């Protein structure tokens, strides 16, 4: 979900940069900036920080399990391989 507070703040900051002669159109421009920002960000394939952190944790656990399984396979292979003959 896109943080609407951040979009509102960005739209306010952008509209505050308008020249003084456009002061009367500020609220209208801010509304259009907000809508444009929301539409542009909605088209991007973004995830929230929370979703990212959840997936990063899943990946860490998966890597840990992979390392453990690799070690287990190596130990099993070592136990079943016949000793080298000379």
- Average pLDDT over the chain, rounded to whole? 84
Q: Give pLDDT, residue 63.
A: 98
**Contact partners, residue 34, CB within 8 Å, separation at least 6:** 7, 8, 11
| Residue carrying the six token digits 């003084």 | 20
pTM of full prediction above 0.75: no
At residue 85, does pLDDT exceed 80?
no
Please write the tens of the pLDDT for every residue from 35-74.
Answer: 888 888 778 877 888 999 999 999 999 999 999 999 999 9
């Amino acid at each position: 979900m896109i943080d609407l507070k951040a979009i509102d703040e960005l739209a306010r900051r952008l509209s505050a940069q308008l020249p003084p002669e456009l002061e009367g159109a500020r609220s209208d421009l801010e509304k259009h900036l907000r809508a444009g920002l929301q539409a542009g960000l909605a088209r991007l394939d973004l995830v929230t920080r929370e979703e990212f952190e959840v997936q990063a944790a899943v990946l860490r656990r998966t890597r840990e399990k992979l390392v453990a399984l690799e070690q287990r396979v190596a130990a099993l292979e070592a136990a079943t391989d016949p000793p080298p003959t000379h």
